[in-house]
Amino acid sequence: MDRSTWSSHAEFRISPIDRLGRRIDSSVLAAAEEIGRRAIGHAEKLFVDPAVAATLLEEAAATVSRAIHLKRERAQSEIRDLRSYLFRAFIRRLNRTQKRQMMQRFEEGTQLPADGQSPHFPSGVELKILVDELLTKCDAVTRDMFYRRLQGFAWKEIGSSYGITADAAKSRFSQSLRRVAERLKRDHDLHSGQH
């Protein structure tokens, strides 16, 4: 993303208007530029492309700008720590993006490596948190199938434990993940569309 810079020597900048054409309040823009390097660095540790992270930060800044304007219109108290508030909004968007990407990879048949070390997935505690959050949206059978696949069980073995074929087990798992992905996308679109 050419309008954002995250090199260690340059000043971090984002556009005053996000990709959806929403204007970013000047105080929020200043806060975004203050936390920008930290936000992009955090996203890179989770294997999220810096350009994607910069876009997510712009979207979060536009959302926070809208919240500030609504608070002013309603004569509500101001946000006390704008940088922290904005960073949390960014993290929520980042988490939703990661969940969607994870769902897409599972739909494409990608398996998590046993050691959790992959250029496509976060590692360690972050991976566990993401997977746990994702699995809470799945039914018990899908969760069981997921954990069995993670342990290296073949679809034939998983299917036989449920009295179905390997193809039926794989299909059931994929359909369940697709429904969760659609729900996550609707949630994301709803959050994006409110602003």
- From first to last of the 195 residues of the chain, give the pLDDT tens digit: 334 444 444 567 888 888 788 889 999 999 999 999 988 888 888 778 888 889 999 999 999 999 988 888 888 888 888 888 898 889 888 888 877 776 666 555 545 444 444 444 455 556 666 677 777 888 888 888 887 787 677 899 888 878 899 999 999 998 888 888 788 777 767 666 554
Under 8 Å between Cβ of 177 and 138: yes
**Distance, CA of 3 to CA of 15 (rounded, Å):** 6
Task: Give residue 57's pLDDT.
Answer: 93
User: What is the widest separation between alpha-carbon atoms in the chain?
Assistant: 62
Which residues share a beta bridge with 121?
A: 118
Task: Give residue 158's pLDDT.
Answer: 87
With H, G, I as helix, E, B as strand and everything else as coil, classify residue 145: helix
**Distance, CA of 71 to CA of 65 (rounded, Å):** 10
Under 8 Å between Cβ of 65 and 14: no
**Distance, CA of 89 to CA of 168 (rounded, Å):** 40
Could you give the angle at which helices 82-107 and 26-45 cross, rounded to 10 degrees? 40
Q: Helices (DSSP H) in 12-108: which residue ranges? A: 26-45, 50-73, 82-107
Task: Give residue 105's pLDDT.
Answer: 64
Under 8 Å between Cβ of 78 and 156: no
Query: How many residues comprise the chain?
Result: 195
**Distance, CA of 97 to CA of 110 (rounded, Å):** 17
Which residues share a beta bridge with 23?
A: 17
